[in-house]
C-alpha cells in the first residue's frame, strides 16, 4: 500500500466511502418528468434516505423512490396514498380511503401549455397535507380503481394526478421494490423533461449540467416534509 502514491490512496478511500454511502445510506436522483408537480419539478435533484425503512415502515404521504414493478431497471418516484389493509377507491378526481373521501381544498388555478390546471391541498387521514394538481379538463379519461390492499403492498400516486403513471395503471407497489424516502431538494434548475426510459447516468450528468446553467435558487435546500 505504501508504494501507492498518497493522492491515489486518498482518492481510493473517498471513492469507497462514497460507494458505501450510496449503497446503504443516501442516494441522489434527478426528477425527469412532471408527474410529481407541484411538489417536485423537472430539474429538481433530490436526496433519498435508503436506510430509513430498515428501521421503520413506510408511512402514508411519504414520497418514495422505487423499482418500477413492470421493469425493475427503471426507478419511479411517487407518493404513498394507500397502506396495507386499506380499501382504496379512485373515482375520477376523488380518492376514498376505507369509505371516507380524502378532502380537497382548491388553492389556485394556473395555465400550463394552454390548459387550465387546478392546484388543491389534499389532506390524508393521518393529517398530512400536500398539494396536488388536476387539469380543469383532463386530456384523457381518469382511471377508476377499487382495491383492497394486502399486506406488503402500497398504493402510490403522483401529485400531478392527470399526468402520472402510477398504481391506478400498473397496480400495487411491493414493499421490497422501495429504494428509500425522498427528503430534500439539494439542487434545482430549469431543464427540459425526459422520458422515463431515457434516464441513465449519462443523461443524469447532462441534466445536472443544464441545471447548473439555469439554477432555481429558491428551491435549493427545500425539505420534502409536509405538515
Q: What is the pLDDT of residues 62-96, one digit of tens each?
A: 999 999 999 999 999 999 999 999 999 999 999 99
Mean pLDDT of 103-113: 93
Average pLDDT, the chain: 87
Q: What is the mean pLDDT of residues 2-24?
A: 53
The mean per-residue pLDDT over the stretch 172-182 comes to 97
C-alpha 65/C-alpha 56 separation (Å) is 16
Class of domain 6-85+152-223: mainly beta
The yes-or-no verdict on residue 39 having pLDDT over 60 is yes
Confidence of residue 6 (pLDDT cuts 50, 70, 90): low
Cell 399526468 belongs to 163
Q: Looking at the predicted structure, is the pLDDT value of residue 2 above 50? A: yes
Strand partners, 156: 80
pLDDT at 25: 63
| 90-104, 121-135, 188-202: the lowest-pLDDT one | 188-202
pLDDT of residue 206: 76
| 17, pLDDT greater than 50 | no
Q: Is 18 helix (H, G, I), strand (E, B) or coil?
A: helix
* Helix (DSSP H) and strand (DSSP E) numbers for the chain: 4, 15
Active site residues: 35, 78
The answer to whether residue 16 scores a pLDDT higher than 80 is: no
Domain extents in the chain: 6-85+152-223
Q: How far is the C-alpha of 76 from the C-alpha of 79, rounded, in Å? A: 10
Residue 203 has pLDDT above 80, yes or no: no
Report the DSSP pairing between strands 129-135 and 104-112. Answer: unpaired
Higher pLDDT, 178 or 30: 178
The span from the CA of 41 to the CA of 20, in Å, is 28
The residue among 213 and 198 whose pLDDT is bigger is: 213
Whether pLDDT at 171 is above 70? yes
- pLDDT score of 53: 95
pLDDT of residue 9: 56
For residue 155, report the phi and psi dihedrals to the nearest 5 degrees.
-105, 120
175: cell is 414493499
| Rg value, the chain, Cα | 19
Q: How many CB atoms lie within 10 A of CB 150?
A: 9
| Alpha-carbon span 202 to 17, nearest angstrom | 22
Q: Which segment of 28-32, 51-55, 81-85 scores lowest on mean pLDDT?
A: 28-32
Residue 71 pLDDT? 95
Highest mean pLDDT among 3-7, 116-120, 139-143: 116-120
Helices (H), the chain: 6-24, 52-55, 167-170, 201-213
What is d(CA 187, CA 30) in angstroms, rounded to the nearest whole number?
9
DSSP string, 50-109: SSHHHHS---TT-EEEEE-TT-TTSEEEEEEEE-TT-EEEEETTEEEETTEEPPEEEEEE
Amino acid at each position: 500500500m505504501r508504494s501507492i502514491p498518497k493522492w491515489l490512496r486518498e482518492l481510493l478511500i473517498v471513492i469507497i466511502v462514497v460507494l458505501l454511502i450510496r449503497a446503504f445510506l443516501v442516494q441522489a436522483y434527478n426528477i425527469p418528468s412532471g408527474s410529481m408537480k407541484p411538489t417536485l419539478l423537472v430539474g429538481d435533484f433530490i436526496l433519498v434516505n435508503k436506510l430509513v425503512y430498515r428501521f421503520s415502515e413506510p408511512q402514508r404521504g411519504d414520497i418514495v423512490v422505487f423499482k418500477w414493478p413492470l421493469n425493475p431497471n427503471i426507478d419511479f418516484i411517487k407518493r404513498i396514498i394507500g397502506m396495507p389493509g386499506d380499501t382504496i377507491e379512485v373515482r375520477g378526481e376523488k380518492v376514498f380511503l376505507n369509505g371516507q373521501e380524502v378532502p380537497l381544498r382548491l388553492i389556485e388555478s394556473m395555465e400550463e401549455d394552454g390548459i387550465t390546471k387546478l392546484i388543491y391541498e389534499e389532506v390524508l387521514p393521518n393529517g398530512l397535507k400536500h398539494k396536488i394538481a388536476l387539469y380543469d379538463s383532463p386530456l384523457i379519461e381518469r382511471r377508476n380503481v377499487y382495491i383492497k390492499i394486502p399486506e406488503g403492498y402500497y398504493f402510490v400516486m403522483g401529485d400531478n394526478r392527470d399526468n402520472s403513471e402510477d398504481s391506478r395503471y400498473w397496480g400495487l407497489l411491493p414493499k421490497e421494490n422501495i429504494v428509500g424516502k425522498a427528503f430534500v431538494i439539494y439542487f434545482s434548475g430549469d431543464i427540459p423533461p425526459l422520458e422515463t426510459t431515457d434516464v441513465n447516468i449519462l443523461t443524469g450528468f447532462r441534466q445536472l449540467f443544464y441545471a447548473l446553467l439555469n439554477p432555481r435558487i429558491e428551491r435549493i435546500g427545500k425539505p420534502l416534509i409536509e405538515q
